[in-house]
Amino acid sequence: MISCDTIIIGAGPVGLFQVFELGLLGLNTHVVDSMPHAGGQCIELYPDKPIYDIPAVPACSGRELVERLQQQIRPFAPQFHLGHTVTALERMQDGRFRLQTSGGLVFDAGAVIIAGGLGAFAPRTLNLPEAAPLVGHTLHYKVTRPALFDDQDIVIAGGGDAALDWALTLVERARSVVLVHRSSTFRAAPASVARMQALCDEGCMQFCEGDIIGMETIGDALAQVRVRTRSGMVQRIEASHLLVFWGMHPALGPIAEWGLALERQQLVVDPATFQTSVAGIFAVGDINTYPGKKKLILSGFHESALCAFAVHAYLHPGDKVNLQYTTTSPALQRRLGVRDAERDAVVAEPQPRVAATA
């Protein structure tokens, strides 16, 4: 059993910043996420899209934001358990919480913070009987190795950013790329749509408006994708790989069974503490709701700061926590690992020479 002050469910941007705020207050943390990597929506939905509303950062991609947050929390040495879903949660007689994961881990935590964003993500899949045997081989819902598609005939299904981004990326490496979408209206960035249309005009790729209705295989390999076009005709497209980007389907999963107050599939919290309807269980980020809630990364960062103080008060009732600032507090600077570094820098700084006088 793993014992800790707090456990955070969710390793998205808000969950990562929650680690930082708890660390400043001297609380150790373990982080559990069902995905195989940290980053949440930033990595799953828009890893390479620019974000413009992070204070003091004019622009950064979702991937860059996650990398910077991971760098920021490094002094607190949080323990990550990725690829694990929390499947059970119960309060013990001593008031602490026992959590179990899909991977067999058991945690004993003083407080629980749910930072699960929109919930666990699963891709919207192709509902065809011949699809299942091809998944991970010639049918893909995500791209992990772009080189797999070098000199291949690719069909990409979808009309959002992921579909357009990968079409524009793979057109440089694949033998052929055909984008299939049910309409000529896209949900992607206008610049990406314009670029795709220009490539189609140049003959570098093709666009087919219609719905995928079937696939032809040779053995266990994809050979053709059948599309019913808007005119009702069936078009057969030669394909060695089919990439489907129809978005991700969020679901609360086991969280919905923990007896927490819900409103439209979101956890109701006190906006002063971000505690849920169960004492000791808190929620921050897109997964919570309260009057005036705004689903912004910036709002989630604010929630994490207030939540950290509330968690400390819950774990250590009666202890007074003075508000300190990282610019001036030796204690906070020691926790961040910068106190000794700053002192050494001052010692090493060249001193001005003063001429001796008679």
Do 38 and 70 form a contact (C-beta atoms < 8 A)? yes
351 is in an annotated binding site: no
User: Does 101 belong to an annotated binding site?
Assistant: no
Q: Is 41 annotated as a binding residue?
A: yes
Is 121 labelled as part of a ligand binding site? yes
* Closest residue by Cα to residue 242 from 153, 121, 132: 153
Q: Is 33 annotated as a binding residue?
A: yes
DSSP string, 319-353: -------TTT-HHHHHHHT-HHHHHHHHHHSPPPP
Residue with tokens 């955070």: 8
Q: How far apart are CA 331 and CA 349, in angstroms?
A: 23
How far apart CA 166 and CA 64 sit, in angstroms, is 19
Q: Are 77 and 26 contacting, i.e. CB atoms less than 8 angstroms apart?
A: no
Task: At 75, list the tokens.
Answer: 């002094």
Nearest to 26 by CA among 273, 308, 344: 308
Do the annotations mark residue 17 as ligand-binding?
no
Radius of gyration in angstroms for the set of CA atoms belonging to the chain, rounded to a whole number? 25
Binding residues for FAD: 33, 41, 46, 86, 121, 286, 327
Binding residues: 33, 41, 46, 86, 121, 286, 327
